[in-house]
Structure 1
Amino acid sequence: MVVVTAGRGWAYFDPEYESLNASLNPPRVVIENAAFTGATVIKLDSVNRHGILLEVVQVLTDLDLFISKAYVSSDAGWFMDVFHVTDIDGNKITDEEVLKFIQESLEKKAAEMPWIGSKCSNPSKVCSAEGGEITRVSLGTGPHQHTAIELSGPNRPGLLSEVFSTLSSMNCNVRSAAVWTHNLRVAGMIFVDNACSSGGPIEDCDKLKDIKDRLCRVIRANDGERGGGAGRTAEFFSGLTHMERRLHQMMSADEDHCGESRELEGRLCDETEQRTVNGKGRPTVTIRNCVERGYSVVNIHCQDRSKLLFDTVCTLTDMDYMIFHATILSEGYFAYQEFYIRHTDGCTLETDDERQRLIKRLVAAIQRRFPEGLRLELCTYDRVGLLSDVTKVFHRHGLCVTRAYISTTRAGTVANTFYVTDAASGDAVDMRTVEAIREELGQAMLNVRSAPVCPQLLGLDDSPSPRFSLAAFFKLHSERILYSLGLITSKDSAPSTSRAAAL
């Protein structure tokens, strides 16, 4: 390796060194089922790069695995982490095919170069409103050769019904979709094919332009509800970006964290200040600077749920913060996360504005995916216009869809999940309304399901949790865990990689 000191004292590293280092030190994945009685332990050692933690967590959460504990260290160019995972029922992962898939996927992700597997660098076109609200619609080719539609803008009751109705009227068959709402905003990714032919992406440029124009008009129908400002534009990335990561990016770009419909519980604190959680689903985020080690320390305490770690790591990564150390624990109803971070330029969070911005983004990312409303599952055979008809029935009965997940199997059946609330009040749905909808759609087609429960919550009662000191928890647990793993030399020290090989 050749190191040359350039102007202003910065060192220049040969750009080929990183790829050489990766080839000489291939990633190593070890999966153990005998080490702990309650979880499968996954250990990963590899050359470090920005975003690798997000991609590793993404592999695990895409398999619906629940991460109950995680310890991460990635100083000195080396990435080492340990995950304790279970399936959705709280059991170890014993299927050999699944274990093999996990190992191969993690090794592949860890071996990728920094420019592979990141954001796709092909910006798609943007449709924006000329009024006070931004409306974004972009088109591209998604997986399995469908036409991918991204849209975001102001939300309102019945919007999803209008979107699906517009697509149905233009002979677009929805094959899969994910739609999130938060703070009066909506973001969605919809994959459609051409119902006029034997399927496949829509290739007629005039039709694509017509779809984009009509969807923009649908979303712009309630411009100005949140108040003024000039029209704005933004660039989008599509194609290679993970769908749920893309939804976070769209929501964040649409500034859903600035909404006033929910009270944000994130606060700043100094090293001695203690914070508590004031109810389930309301996260507490604190940030302090560890001056002696040159890190900003982010502590998160909130109600636990599936994919929580993905959402927080995704936010930190997309805001260009590098995670050097992390401790993740789930206990009962609650999750506790601690991250030692720096910006990619090497700086910590020095100003209150920087900290408040990060806190708001993290709180919004946590709250977006919390189940809001009654969960309804639709299982039937697919047909053009199905989603339009179903969402029209929801709207006619006064329901508002807060989240939706649409999927179609190769056999032509659909498994769709909707979270719904009362459109007028935002409160829980009257079960008599649900029964009326089931009568109209068919009892066998629509079922009421309870929201998925994290394995850690199985068997627990719903009694209120005692007030909790976040600073005290991490003082007692985080340093003890890192010390036991050999990541620090004494319990009074901050994390260090001097003995990180103990992982």
Structure 2
Amino acid sequence: MKKVCWPYFDPDFHNFPERIYGPTCRVTIDNESLEESTVVKVDSVNKQGLLLELVQVLTDLNLTITKGYISSDAGWFMDVFHVQDQHGNKLIDQKLIDNIRQAIGTTSETTIGSAMPKTYANKAVYEPQHPSEHTAIEMTGTDRPGLFSEISAALAQLHCNIVEAHAWSHNDRLACVAYVSDQSTDSPIADPNRLALIEYHLTNVLRATAEKNPSETHINPVPQEVKSPGRDGTKTDVERRLHQLMLSVRDFDRPDEPMSPTNVIGLGSNGDEEGGRKTLVSIESCDEKGYSIVSVECKDRPRLMFDTVCTLTDMQYVVFHASVGSRTGYAFQEYFIRHLDGYALNTESEKERVIKCLEAAIERRVCEGVRLELSAANRVGLLSDITRVLRENGLAVVRADVATQGEKSVHAFYLRDISGNEVDMDFVESMKKEMGPIDVEVKNERRRTSTQTPTSPAERSRFSFGYLLKSHIERFSQNFVPIK
């Protein structure tokens, strides 16, 4: 009898489909290879916007990306992140490591773009995905000193409780996202007539500036979800929206007038005076592979990769390969991109627009001057009171983050002097003593070399925080609680 021969089958044949196409996502966290960083490796089927989603996950968890390598050719996404915690150490908390695995797995399985905001013309519209207890209000317009204070006052007069608010000012433009509830019921505002009235009043506040940059106010009449499912925080979701709103009002266009100390609030292409190095964004062509290579060099800071990837994604560009890193406080990023239609950047005008938009994305978050943090028992009109005091004493809010934590309202403001003078840190520190039991934290983000003529002690005291808050402190001091 002849011996029957059967074709050979690899015993792992049943695993081939997974090895070829991969599971939805594989996440590997390596805490042994590097001494100072934790390595997060992600292998996944590629989807448009996945890179941004992954960077969002890591940023939401307050992790710093020190290095990154990305490749996503042939429908397969492979990424390596070197991350550290907010103290600059590798990750040792097992709960945090488990959260990373879970969050990245949830992100890769979700259809990217299902919860992304859409923009129609110059008006931003959110598509709510989950019910919540707040109504979302989005505003854009031409910035002016005291505008954020006027917005806060208008909402207070309209009996709206500000549960959370975030505002960015850059190149004479302002973008603001606020989550509000009804003052009396602490519930979402659903009455169409009242929503129309709120929109009308806020639009009038925003339009009380030059006609050059049109303003927009949009109220989401459906309760807006503040927290994203599967993640611990939502800060980057709001920040992505702020990036989109600033892009919609073309904050990448410089004001016509020369940049003066009163309107410079970022570094960007204007350079880093301390380090002597400028922010540089350049674009080259890789004709052999059909890519455009975007190179970014700037001062390193937290959330930098999120800002650049967010901008490229929202401008409809796909990142196929990338490498990011930093050395001696300076960041280097390189992205191989194509437009969503598959073509590289062909015209000089398109390249110039991408360069300007990336510069603006880097500048928006960088605020020079004084950061003021305070905490208070939450009440309607508190934000309006605080910002009015600042405005009446010559201080403008260039960035704001306000959130409610239980019964407390936590405020963080970046401030500059409207007249162009540098806010004197000596008087900032004296303010803390004058305020007695009220605990306020003040930080000087960066000391700039002042070109102004030194002012007299009497003049400087007029601009001190102690002076500007002391006369108003009796009115709402009972509402403050120490920061913890």
Which secondary structure does the structure 1 equivalent of 2:345 belong to? coil
- Deviation track 1:449-499 (CA, whole Å, cap 9, x = no partner) reads 2449xxxxxxxxxxxxxxxxxxxxxxxxxxxxxxxxxxxxxxxxxxxxxxx
Rate the CA distance shift 1:48–1:91 in 2: closer, same or farther, 3 A. Answer: same
How far apart, in 2, do the equivalents of 1:34 and 1:196 lie?
55
Structure 1 residue identity aligned to 2:390: F
Q: CA deviation at 1:428?
A: 2.5
Matched, 1:448 2:436: no
Measured at CA, do residues 359 and 279 of structure 1 come closer, stay the same or move farther in structure 2, by a change above 3 Å?
farther
Equivalent residue of 1:258, what SS?
Answer: coil
RMSD of equivalent CA atoms: 3.3
User: Corresponding residue for 1:187?
Assistant: 175
SS in 2 for 1:79: strand
- Displacement of 1:123 in angstroms is 6.5
Match of 2:78 in 1: 80
Partner of residue 429 from structure 1, selected from 407, 417, 423? 423
Identity of aligned residues (%): 41
Give the one of 33, 36, 39 matched to 1:35.
33
Give distance in 2, aligned partners of 1:398 and 1:142: 41
Instruction: Label 1:65 to 1:318 Cα distance change in 2 as closer, same or farther (>3 A).
Output: same
CA contact (8 A) 1:56 1:109 kept: yes
Gaps of 5+ in 1: 1-19, 127-135, 268-274, 453-503
Q: Which residue of 1 aligns with 2:475?
A: none
TM-score, scaled relative to structure 1: 0.74
- The 5 Å alignment of 1:48-63 reads 48-63=46-61
Deviation of residue 122 (structure 1)? 8.9
Quote the residue 2:145 is aligned against.
Answer: 157
Number of the residue aligned with 1:293:
289
Amino acid across the alignment from 2:46? N
Question: 1:89 corresponds to which residue?
Answer: 87
Instruction: Give 5+ residue unaligned stretches, structure 2.
Output: 1-17, 229-236, 447-484
Structure showing greater Rg: 2
| Structure 1 stretch displaced more, 430-439 or 232-241 | 232-241
Does 2:412 align with 1:417?
yes
Alignment partners' CA distance in 1, 2:243 and 2:169: 11
Q: After superposition, give the CA deviation of every residue in 1:420-448 in whole Å (9 maximum; x if it has no partner).
A: 010111x4213466468657876524221
* Aligned residues between the structures: 409
Pick the aligned partner of 1:371 from 367, 374, 377.
367
CA shift at 1:282, angstroms? 4.0
Query: Alignment partner for residue 248 of structure 1, among 243, 246, 265?
Result: 243
Q: CA deviation at 1:372?
A: 2.4
- The alpha-carbon distance between structure 1 residues 301 and 264, as it changes in their structure 2 partners (threshold 3 A), is same
> Residues 235 and 156 (structure 1 numbering): CA distance in 2 closer, same or farther, change over 3 Å?
closer
SS at match of 2:413: strand
Q: Structure 2-normalised TM-score?
A: 0.77
Matched, 1:171 2:159: yes
Task: Verify the 8 A CA contact 1:404 1:418 in the aligned structure 2.
Answer: yes
Give the corresponding residue for 1:130.
none
Counterparts of 1:299 and 1:369, CA distance in 2? 19
* 2:334 pairs with 1:346: no
Decide which moves more: 296-305 or 365-374. 365-374
**SS across alignment from 1:167:** helix
**Correspondence for 2:354:** 358
Secondary structure of 1:401's partner? Answer: strand
Tell me the SS of whatever aligns to 1:448.
strand
The aligned residue for residue 208 of structure 2 is: 221
Structure 1 CA distance for aligned equivalents of residues 32 and 48 of structure 2: 32
Q: Give the structure 2 partner of residue 68 of structure 1.
A: 66
**Farther-moved stretch of structure 1 (38-47 vs 431-440):** 431-440
Structure 1 counterpart SS, 2:405: coil
User: C-alpha separation between the residues in 2 aligned to 1:359 and 1:299?
Assistant: 10
Q: Say if 1:394 and 1:437, in contact at 8 Å, map to a contact too.
A: no
Letter aligned with residue 185 of structure 1 = R
Amino acid in structure 2 at the alignment position of 1:215: L
Is 1:208 matched up with 2:204? no
Q: Is the Cα contact below 8 Å between 2:268 and 2:362 reproduced in 1?
A: no
Separation of aligned partners in 2, 1:101 and 1:333: 29
Distance 1:276 1:449 in 2: 19
CA shift in 2, pair 1:388/1:49, >3 Å:
same
**2:206–2:215: 8 Å Cα contact kept in structure 1?**
no
Decide which moves more: 432-441 or 171-180: 432-441
Task: Give the distance between the partners of 2:331 and 2:125, measured in 1 at CA.
Answer: 35
1:111-142 residue CA offsets vs partner (Å, 9 max, x unmatched)? 2234534x24596995xxxxxxxxx8999898
> What is the rounded CA distance, in whole Å, between the counterparts of 1:137 and 1:402 in structure 2?
24
Residues 265, 90 of structure 1: alpha-carbon distance in 2 compared, 3 angstrom cutoff: closer
The corresponding residue for 2:462 is: none
Contact 1:290 1:296 in 2 (8 A): yes
